[in-house]
Structure 1
Amino acid sequence: MAKSIRDARELAMKILFQMDANKNFDYELFVANDITGDFKDSPRVMDILENMKLHITDIDNTIEENSKNRKVQRIPKADLAIIRVAVCEILYLDDVPEAVSINEAVELAKAYGTDKAPGFINALLGQTVRSR
């Protein structure tokens, strides 16, 4: 079970990475195959996944608009999963301050992203917040 919002973000990022690799954003398949119960026991993960399913096009458009029109297909997959979680939180989940979402995304990028990911993600998310 995801013990904190930080753990939930990390789990959501990993699931989104897998979903993107499979080209299938229907998270119910992942939940149905969840033998550990991590997804069902974490309302935060479920909120992120549901919002991703409902708003993936808007989230990706927001990413492209705020990344100097870099297409999401050109962003490394781990970086993209981290960005999607943060943009989802910023746009659709109002219970965490935007600055916290950005900071947590940068921390995930340091652990899972490419070398340039922390700076790129920080700049992209900062622009996303400013453009709202």
Structure 2
Amino acid sequence: MQVMYQVDVGKMDVDEALQNIQEQFKLTGPDLDFTSQLVYGTLDKLAELDQIISEHSREWLVERMAAVDRNILRLALFEMLYIQEIPTNVSINEALEMAKRFGGADSAKFINGILGAVARQTKV
């Protein structure tokens, strides 16, 4: 989520943002590979993910959402739709934990509503 935030808000180059996180958290091997898969996959599908978020966010434009919420939603949706090895409920629970830690007072409720609606609609 921090890489996505740096790319989205800070307009940082994705490779530079990944390197920062890699150094900060000492990511190697499978952890670094998974992080890279999430980041590059999410960015590759960004327009599609934002469209799905828009369809479920009732009068909230994606670009007007809190940056933390927007990026948590993007990552969770990418996991739910494109990484079959991760159960949907795990993706949702991880997103809610990030929202509670990094988001605002209503972030978890907002994110849960959107992810839950997508899960019900797509049966992922």
For Structure 1 versus Structure 2, the TM-score category normalised by the shorter chain is: 0.7 to 0.9
Alpha-carbon distance in 2 for matches of 1:100, 1:34: 23
In the TM superposition, 1:1-132 aligns within 5 A as 13-23=1-11, 27-31=14-18, 36=23, 38=27, 42-132=32-122
SS at match of 1:114: coil
The structure-2 alpha-carbon separation of the partners of 1:108 and 1:31, relative to structure 1 and needing over 3 Å to count, comes to: closer
SS at match of 1:126: helix
Identity %: 31
Alpha-carbon distance in 1 for matches of 2:38, 2:22: 20
Alignment-mate amino acid for residue 43 of structure 1: D
CA contact (8 A) 1:27 1:53 kept: no
The structure-2 alpha-carbon separation of the partners of 1:31 and 1:115, relative to structure 1 and needing over 3 Å to count, comes to: closer
Runs of 4+ in 1 over 3 A off after TM superposition: 31-35
Compute the RMSD of aligned alpha carbons. 2.0
Q: How many residues align?
A: 119
The structure-2 alpha-carbon separation of the partners of 1:70 and 1:34, relative to structure 1 and needing over 3 Å to count, comes to: closer
How high is the TM-score relative to the length of structure 1? 0.79
What's the CA shift for 1:101? 0.6
The structure-2 alpha-carbon separation of the partners of 1:39 and 1:83, relative to structure 1 and needing over 3 Å to count, comes to: farther
What's the CA shift for 1:69? 4.5
The structure-2 alpha-carbon separation of the partners of 1:42 and 1:124, relative to structure 1 and needing over 3 Å to count, comes to: same
Alignment-mate amino acid for residue 74 of structure 2: R
Unaligned runs of 5+ in 2: none
Alpha-carbon distance in 2 for matches of 1:116, 1:94: 29
User: In proportion to residue count, which structure has more helix?
Assistant: 2
